[in-house]
Amino acid sequence: MSVFSDIFFGGLFQGSLYAMMAVGLALVWTTIGVFNFSHGVFMMLGAYFAWQLVAFGLPVVIAFPLAVIVMAGAGWILQASVVRPLIGRPNIVLVVVITTLAAGSLIENGALTVWGPRSKQLPSLIEGNTTIAGVGVSLHQIAIIVITPLVLAALWSFLNRTRLGLALRAVAQNEDASQLVGLNVTALYGLAFAIAASLAGLAGIFMGGYRFMNPSMGADPLLKALIVVVFGGISSISGPIFAAYLIGFFEAASNYYFGLYWTPALLFLVLIATLMVRPEGIFASRSRGLA
């Protein structure tokens, strides 16, 4: 029984982090049609902003939300500087890969200069540990498992229940038609990036609370988010969310049965095999669009 709960909690926890990261990536892809390779760096930046604010003496309840808001601004700025000028170029997908990679390297090295290479740690969301179903888990992890679905549900209802969210979904589907109903397409692109960066920043805060932070901490989560997004299909945000949890459970189970070393290789193998059978991902619908 304990094995099962171990895998269950581990998968739920990892899945939450992956979902938080992947949703932003999918949001940007569906609205703008580009992949943001600085998404992992956003995660790092969010964690460091939060750390800095805490270091300034702000209480966690103010510092963490403030960092998330600052990240929205950072996302907007990144979009305006390295993505928006390229819109309309025929090879935009490729060029944005490079500009966001370069921007990521710029920010990462900037963080290294500002904060130094020494590892840092954020305070936990909630201190303490508990035992559930025979498994010892920290309250921080429990908080993440609870908060993530709430945040994602809020995002879902924003997209599906508000006019602004409707506008964001519309831009994802047809840019010309969006302009012709009077949508501010560039602002909506900025908004997509801002939301994505905020979510990445929040994921960074989650991560910084149970693991040491360093300027390159975003590289691996970006990779995982990419896998999640491919696996779940990049045409929606619900697909990646399901995929995130699925991969979380898969990893937890594989770690247990096959060991840490083989898990990533297995994961990639499953991924490639999946794509051979279902090129659009397992939860994909046929077109680009948010839902």
Residue whose pair of structure tokens reads 């992956």 in the numeric block: 18
Q: Are 45 and 103 in contact, with CB atoms under 8 Å apart?
A: no
Nearer to other proteins, 103 or 244 (CB): 103
Tell whether residue 29 is a contact of other proteins (CB under 8 A).
yes
Secondary structure letter of residue 80 according to DSSP: I
Sole binder of other proteins in the list 58, 135, 145, 166 (CB under 8 A): 166
Tell whether residue 18 is a contact of other proteins (CB under 8 A).
no
**DSSP reduced 3-state for 129:** strand
Q: Are 17 and 207 in contact, with CB atoms under 8 Å apart?
A: yes
Tally of helices (H runs) and strands (E runs) in the chain: 11, 2
Site string for other proteins, 120-159 (x = CB under 8 A): ----------------------------------------
Tell whether residue 118 is a contact of other proteins (CB under 8 A).
no
Tell whether residue 161 is a contact of other proteins (CB under 8 A).
no
Which region holds residue 135: left if phi is over 0, alpha if psi is between -120 and 50, else beta?
beta
- The distance from CA 70 to its chain's CA centroid, rounded to whole angstroms, is 16
Indicate the residue type of 209: G
CA distance 230 to 280: 8
Nearer to other proteins, 109 or 129 (CB): 109
Sole binder of other proteins in the list 89, 153, 157, 212 (CB under 8 A): 89
CA distance 189 to 193: 6
Sole binder of other proteins in the list 94, 132, 133, 154 (CB under 8 A): 94
Site string for other proteins, 243-262 (x = CB under 8 A): ------------------xx
Tell whether residue 80 is a contact of other proteins (CB under 8 A).
no
CA distance 15 to 144: 10
Binding segment for other proteins (CB under 8 A), chosen from 11-19, 127-135, 162-170, 194-202, is 162-170
Q: How far is the CB of 261 from other proteins (least distance, A)?
A: 4
Distances (CA, A) of 32 to 41, 83, 93, 100, 123: 19, 9, 10, 14, 35
Which region holds residue 290: left if phi is over 0, alpha if psi is between -120 and 50, else beta?
beta
Q: How far is the CB of 287 from other proteins (least distance, A)?
A: 6
Q: Which residues bind other proteins (CB under 8 A)?
A: 29, 35, 81-82, 85-86, 89, 91, 93-95, 97-99, 101-103, 105-106, 109-110, 112-113, 163, 166-167, 169-170, 173-174, 176-185, 219, 223, 226-227, 229-230, 234, 261-262, 264-265, 268-269, 271-273, 275-276, 279-280, 285, 287, 289, 291
